[in-house]
Amino acid sequence: MFSTDRRVFSRFLSCATRCFAFFFLALAPGSALAQGGELRFCLRSEPKTFDPLLVDDDASLSVRYLTGGVLVRANRKTQDLEPELAESWKLSKDGKQITFKLRTGVTFSDGSRFSSEDVAFTMQRLMDPALHSSTGDAFRSGSGTVSTKILAPDQIAIIFPSPVAGLDRLFDQVAIMSAHSPKKEAAVLGPFMVAEYKAGSSLLLRRNPNYWKKDSQGRRLPYLDSIRLDIQSNRDVEMLRFKRGELDLINVIDSDYFDRLASSSPGMAHDAGASLDSDFMWFNQVANAPIPEYKRAWFRSTNFRRAISQAINRDDLARVVFNGHAQPAVGPVSSANKFWFNSKLKAEPYRADEALKRLEADGFHQQNGSLFDKSGNPVEFSIVTNAGGKPRERMAVMIQEDLRKLGIRVNVVTLDFPSLIERISQKFNYEAAILGFRNVDLDPNGQMNIWLSSAEDHAWNPKQKSPETAWEAEIDRLMRAQASSADPKKRKESFDRVQEIVAEQTPFIYLVNPNSLSAVSAAVAGASPVILSPQTFWNAERLTLNATTRASR
């Protein structure tokens, strides 16, 4: 009896030692690539929809990026177009047709087979005129229906009624949905899938067991087990939780917090340089806006707008509001957009005396420190901006001070977003406004609705029946030219000219391009923050969590 016990005991001991050794090795640093773990970060707002074709807001975009499988992926770091679900593709010469050769052997997260039928189904749904999605509208270059031709289970051709500029890149936004699966939009092709959703609180994404991508050593991606997204709109709380180690990354961080983080934990703060975003100011030029006639005359004068632009100290804005983490903006396209940026243009330098000369040329004169127009009206106007955006509020206060030196009195009014939108796009009862533009796309064709005078987002004077000024007519012509051309060089020529006209006429007074700032904790390995969204988790499928740093929390 004694010997049996000893044998059992020794077997138990060896087994335990083996288990122990396995545990030790798995947790030891520098061991084979750590698998698993849960990445945690915050969404700034509630995701409005999980239908990938209807996605429009930031939070839903992030979820779609992580769960959706696309045909081609624009690599956020190199900006090259890479094959994903499509092994190769061919664009026709006229820019109207694209043919994809799809990857075989791919299945959705629920196991159903992926084939060209799913791509056809997705495109048909996307191009349904009743859908009203921004992803679908980006493909709409002209009237007519879009047709899909299934050439083989792994080959599909999509034909558009008129040429679409930058057609292949647009497919980076189209997440393929299943045509047949009973799970509908819950069946995904991306690295993660939605597991739990608590409205207003958090969202849990789990690894997709059927994800097709493997790394160079043949291991199935993603490395992470799950991603937890908490819904937290308050940046102070987000920063607190990051510092405490409850969050692993902050995708976009304010410059105040960035500096504090950089001084306490320099490795965690990343400044990727000027982003594609811009903040700008514009004046209301709508013909029948409910503002005094003499003010409308000021705002419609190019001299007035240029003078205001020259009177604003952009270097101060970049330095004070963003702690140096911003560049003075030049125009519609940021200098970070290497191909499309018109490198001949420079940001408007601060020249208050020239600004005054320009104004005097228009009949303005200074008296007792205040500026008056030629009819004797004191120059006073209001700037509306959205509340809660501290950088814009601060910029408005600084612009107020800059213009006060010219004798112009500015009233800063911060409004809640819906009231602001109603004022600037429906009622037009505003004088000047400061807003920002979040550019997701490198291709300026996405800005069509801003530059066309007949369009909705032509902020200073939308939905014109016919262009009210010669320069707006010229911009219309140039934008249409770049949209219908397939030659990138010709398109760049047209758009360069658009940028020049915008710099001369200043319908938008571009202020700054903020830098892309993000925070990544030491626990995350493989992160490489970039300027294109999503800045920190664009390579989520290859991110890993450093096991020892995690274990010590």
Q: Which 294-333 residues touch other proteins, going by CB under 8 A?
A: 316, 319-321
Q: Please identify which residue in 230, 279, 443, 472 interacts with other proteins, judged by CB under 8 A.
A: 230
In one-letter notation, the amino acid at residue 43 is L
Tell which one of 113, 125, 260, 365 touches other proteins (CB under 8 A).
260
Out of 27, 425, 490, 548, which residue is the one contacting other proteins (CB under 8 A)?
425
Q: Among residue numbers 333 through 362, which ones bind other proteins (CB under 8 A)? A: none
180 beta partners: none
Q: Name residues contacting other proteins, limited to 434-453 (CB under 8 A).
A: 435, 446-450
Residue 57: burial class (beta carbons within 10 Å; 0-12, 13-18, 19+):
middle
245: left (phi over 0), alpha (psi -120 to 50) or beta: left
| Residue choice 164, 227, 333, 420 for contact with other proteins (CB under 8 A) | 420
Amino acid at 440: V
> Around 541, how many Cα atoms within 13 Å sit in the side-chain half-sphere?
22
**Strand, coil or helix: what is 478?**
helix
DSSP 222: P
Tell me which amino acid residue 34 is: A
Q: State which of residues 175, 239, 336, 527 lies at the interface with other proteins (CB under 8 A).
A: 239
419 is a site residue for other proteins (CB under 8 A): yes
Per CB under 8 A, does 204 bind other proteins? no
Find the binding residues for other proteins in span 449-508 (CB under 8 A). 449-450, 455-457, 463
Count of residues interacting with other proteins (CB under 8 A): 74
SS3 category, 192: strand
Q: How far is the CB of 56 from other proteins (least distance, A)?
A: 5
Q: Which of 31, 88, 201, 548 contacts other proteins by CB under 8 A?
A: 201
Q: Is 260 helix (H, G, I), strand (E, B) or coil?
A: helix
**Looking at the DSSP assignment, which residues form a beta bridge with residue 514?**
326
Closer CB to other proteins, residue 400 or residue 485?
A: 400
Helix, coil or strand: residue 164: coil
Preceding omega of 488 cis (within 30 degrees of 0):
no
223 vs 298 by CB, closer to other proteins: 298
Q: Which stretch binds other proteins (CB under 8 A): 346-354, 389-397, 468-476, 530-538?
A: 389-397
Is residue 128 at the binding interface for other proteins, with CB under 8 A as the rule?
Answer: no
CA dihedral angle for residue 327, residue 333, residue 335, residue 337, rounded to 10 degrees: 130
Stretch that binds other proteins, among 22-30, 161-169, 425-433, 542-550 (CB under 8 A): 425-433
Which lies closer to other proteins via its Cβ, residue 222 or residue 331?
Answer: 331
* Of 43, 71, 312, 398, the one binding other proteins by CB under 8 A: 398
**In the bound complex, what is the minimum distance in angstroms from residue 330's beta carbon to other proteins?**
19
Q: How far is the CB of 200 from other proteins (least distance, A)?
A: 6
Footprint on residues 14-53 left by other proteins (CB under 8 A): 46, 48-49
Q: Which of residues 51-80 bind other proteins (CB under 8 A)?
A: 56-57
Select from 71-79, 145-153, 297-305, 416-424 the region that touches other proteins (CB under 8 A). Answer: 416-424
* Residue 422 interacts with other proteins (CB under 8 A): yes or no: yes
Give the shortest CB-422-to-other proteins separation in angstroms: 4
**Min separation Cβ 89 and other proteins, Å:** 22
- What are phi and psi for residue 517, nearest 5 degrees? -110, 135
Per rule CB under 8 A, is residue 153 in the interface with other proteins? no
**Nearest-approach distance from CB 47 to other proteins, in angstroms:** 9
Q: Which stretch binds other proteins (CB under 8 A): 67-75, 235-243, 369-377, 469-477?
A: 235-243
DSSP string for 328-395: E--SSS-TT-TTTS-TT--PPP--HHHHHHHHHHTT-EEETTEEE-TTS-B-EEEEEEETT-HHHHHH
Looking at this protein, which amino acid is placed at residue 354? E
Residue 256 is encoded by which pair of tokens? 């105040």
b/e burial code for range 124-156 (CB count within 10 A of at least 16 → b): eebbeeeeebebbebbebeeeebebeeeeebbb
Site membership for other proteins, residue 234 (CB under 8 A): yes
CB 109 within 8 A of CB 189: yes
Both tokens of residue 34? 């750590």
User: Considering only residues 134, 265, 367, 548, which one is a binding residue for other proteins as defined by CB under 8 A?
Assistant: 134
Of the candidates 150, 204, 421, 525, which one interacts with other proteins according to CB under 8 A? 421
Identify which of residues 182 and 200 has a Cβ nearer to other proteins in the complex.
Answer: 200
**The amino acid at 343:** S
Determine how many CB atoms are found less than 10 A away from the CB of residue 290.
Answer: 10
382 binds other proteins (CB under 8 A): yes
